[in-house]
Amino acid sequence: MAIKIKTPLTLEIVRNLHAGERVEISGAIYTARDAAHHRMIDMLKEGGDLLFPLEGQVIYYTGPSPARPGRPIGSCGPTTSSRMDPWTVPLLAMGLRGMIGKGERNQDVINAMKKYGAVYFAATGGAGAWLSKFIHKAGVIAYSDLGPEAVYQLEVKDFPAICAIDCHGNSLYDKWRVK
């Protein structure tokens, strides 16, 4: 049975999630990949503000394909999350509560998740067309010149994921490695 959660995520919601639990996410989430992360951090270093709020939000590491007629978005599967690790800690410090992707995270990111109260969700790799069915609205809100790596705001309903690393530092990847 999946745990239904809504965005924005509160610290209470995040603290009650545990590695291995299935979730269904509803509400607004944002997309961002390497190039968008790089720009966000550069903007913060220059003293600017981000173009969307981070407090309580979820970032999905994906670069969606163009939408087919009648659909809000094309295939929208997760990308390798570790590529975003160099830019993740400052975003967690600003209140980012959730990330969706695939693969492991480095120890600095896990430590920051514990410190600031965030969770990392794994989505099914190779299932982008299926995952797009849970996205009901999509629109570019920042960095449109980046094409599929632009920041999109997505409205999702029951988006399926697994809590891969919780805010207590428990990781499914560690459990599997032991086996």
Point out the residues that are catalytic.
37
Angle at 7 between CA 164 and CA 53, to 5 degrees: 105
CA–CA separation, 167 vs 86, rounded Å? 19
Residue 175 CB neighbour total at 10 angstroms = 11
Tokens of 9: 């995520």
Outline where 24-171 has alpha helix (H).
34-45, 85-93, 107-116, 128-131
- What totals of helices (H) and strands (E) does the chain contain, helices first? 6, 7
Say whether the peptide bond before residue 86 is cis (omega within 30 degrees of 0).
no
Q: Which of 36, 35, 3, 33 is nearest to 119 (CA)?
A: 3
Provide the Cα torsion 53, 26, 168, 18; round to 10°: 180
